Structure 1
Amino acid sequence: MSDYERPLSFGVSLEPSAIAWPLTRFLARRAEDVGLDYIAVQDHPYQPGHLEAWTLISHLSALTDRISFLTDVADLQLRPPVMFAKAAVSLGVLTQGRVQLGVGGGGIPDATASMGGPARRGQDMVAYAEESLGLLRTALAGGAVRLDSPYHSIGGYQAGPVPPKPVGVWLGAQKPKMLALAGRGADGWISPLNIYVPPQEVPSRQRIIDEAAVEAGRDPKDLRRVYNVTGAIGSLGAHRTGRGLVGDVRQWVDTFTEWTVELGFDTFVSWPAADPERQLALFTDEIVPSVRERVHAERSGR
């Protein structure tokens, strides 16, 4: 695997907790103040303690002026693609383009079904996701949207408005068929957390994406590659289990640099496992600028 040499960007995932939403709001403002690129919000509306992701993003977008928002990732089984596109372009207009969409085919079918959605699995889920992805991207770009299929019946919707900046659609995937779909039909790939897709498994997944992109006549370098990273910076007692990336600032900087120039990621979203305020400060003050410097030096020295 190699570096795709795309510009680096960094974000933080904020918990959509109904109990802890004042902290989430505070952290959103901090993320903007310190210059992060993205606030990411997970989409598990069937969790009774979670706020609905799009409602939370809309609320937080009104409290910020610069930082962009990312659904990480939205369940396409619960969000009809044309209506989801309408919501995204609407918020894109209202925020001057601070919206990106991470979407997934629906990784927990029974939970989706508990809210009235279809419990699609396997090839049925992949086929639905592919069709939904195409509709979503068409509707985001404006123009007429028409399709009559077993999954969708759309009779010529005139899409719009068109936001001031394009809304990217990045596909969350980890299995071969969905990875191939990311390569041929999405604007990028969002990897699940590093505890679910560990670094040693990334090259094989990147190859699937690249091969599908080339087969579809696309340049693999045009696709965004996002890694969701959980763990702990420093020695916090809450991280005794050692899950994810656990180490001091130097280890995080070394690791992120390696994951950029050797694994091909260009965007890192931090998912603090505990003490999010302190972890956010360490991430933004010490890790992000050092990784940018190291990656620039690596690229310049080739």
Structure 2
Amino acid sequence: MPDYGHDLLFGAGIDSYSHQSSTVVRLAELADQTGVDLAAISDHPYHPAFLDTWTLLSYLAGRTTQIRLAASVHPIPLRQPAILARSAASLDILSGGRFELGLGAGAIWDGIEAMGGPRRSPGEAVDALEEAIEVIRGIWDVDTSGGVHVDGNHYQVRGARPGPRPSHNIGIWTGAYKPRMLRLTGRMADGWWPSLPALEEHGPITLAEGNATIDEAAIHAGRSPQDVRRLLNLGELLPVEQIAELALQDGISVFTVDARDPRAIHQLAKEISPAVKELVAKERAGR
């Protein structure tokens, strides 16, 4: 697949176990200080061992100065989209434009239902996410007159006043694996954010196949494939050459890795990130 030409970013995926709260904060601060581009926090509201992701993201925004912040990813069945839109815009303003919005259709249905959320079929989950994105973009569009109106099967918004306006154009990055979700990503999202260990589990689907589906949907919707940034959760760190190959052949421009200790963050920031960026820049210049 083509290189979509985006600048390369590297992110630290940080576990948010409540019994290690001080470690969670220290790792995020270290990632910020060493030049890591993104701190990614998983969002599992049904899991009692984790800190609440929105509370943690807000706290980290006040303890950092440069690093971008995102959840990987918010399960939309437990995050009401109109409120989510205002929360995202507010955190983006307070952090100086450092927030991105990761969204998922939902997966752990027993946990979602136990927390009072709806249990949805795969088709319903995709439809609901599409409606949610429409609501979120409507809330962010402060130039809309007459309020936000979405009359969906899962979400109904009837004249909500838009605002606040985010500090920057927040990217909506979807965790997608199946064809309908991939097509939705191509039509409406700003980024595709799968996990490398999960790609085989969910299909199997390759990055090339996912990219092709997204590209086709984007073009059909009147967009450019370059409008959709490609992200990838690697899990564990891979060799520099392999990461560079993912950037050049599969168009990945944001790489997140599990960062459970300071050594992993230092390695990501001081060794892996600059080496991959140098290799990719050299290859791009040669082209």
TM-score interval for Structure 1 and Structure 2 normalised by the shorter chain: over 0.9
| C-alpha distance in 2 between matches for 1:163 and 1:132 | 17
**What residue in structure 2 maps to residue 107 of structure 1?**
107
Tell me the amino acid that sits aligned with residue 214 of structure 1.
I
Q: For 1:17-69, what per-residue CA distance to the aligned partner results, in whole angstroms no more than 9, with x for missing partners?
A: 10111111111111111111111110111111011111100011110111110
Q: Is it true that 1:212 corresponds to 2:217 in the alignment?
A: yes
**What residue in structure 1 maps to residue 269 of structure 2?**
284
| C-alpha distance in 2 between matches for 1:112 and 1:254 | 39
Moved over 2 A (4+): 140-144
Tell me the amino acid that sits aligned with residue 59 of structure 2.
H
| C-alpha distance in 1 between matches for 2:245 and 2:169 | 30
How many pairs are equivalent?
281
Q: Is it true that 1:163 corresponds to 2:166 in the alignment?
A: yes
Tell me the amino acid that sits aligned with residue 277 of structure 1.
P
State the superposition RMSD in angstroms: 1.4
Q: For 1:1-21, what per-residue CA distance to the aligned partner results, in whole angstroms no more than 9, with x for missing partners?
A: 121111111111111110111
Deviation at 1:149, TM superposition (A): 2.9
Q: Is it true that 1:194 corresponds to 2:196 in the alignment?
A: yes
Equivalent in 177, 185, 189 of residue 182 of structure 1? 185
1:1-302 → structure 2 map (5 Å cutoff): 1-142=1-142, 143=144, 144-191=147-194, 193-197=195-199, 201-232=206-237, 245=238, 252-272=239-259, 275-302=260-287
**What residue in structure 2 maps to residue 236 of structure 1?**
none
Counting aligned pairs with the same residue, the percent is 36
Deviation at 1:226, TM superposition (A): 0.6
Deviation at 1:150, TM superposition (A): 2.5
| C-alpha distance in 2 between matches for 1:137 and 1:268 | 26
Long gaps (5+) in structure 2: none
TM-score (norm 1): 0.90
Most deviating of 159-168 and 112-121: 159-168
Q: 1:163 to 1:146 in 2, by over 3 A?
A: same
| C-alpha distance in 1 between matches for 2:168 and 2:16 | 26
Higher strand share: 1
| C-alpha distance in 2 between matches for 1:53 and 1:259 | 29
Long gaps (5+) in structure 1: 233-244, 246-251
Q: 1:200 to 1:104 in 2, by over 3 A?
A: closer
Secondary structure in 1 matching 2:161: strand
Q: For 1:84-107, what per-residue CA distance to the aligned partner results, in whole angstroms no more than 9, with x for missing partners?
A: 000011111111111100000001
TM-score (norm 2): 0.94
Deviation at 1:217, TM superposition (A): 0.6
Secondary structure in 1 matching 2:278: helix
- RCO greater where, 1 or 2, for CA within 8 Å and sep 6 or more? 2
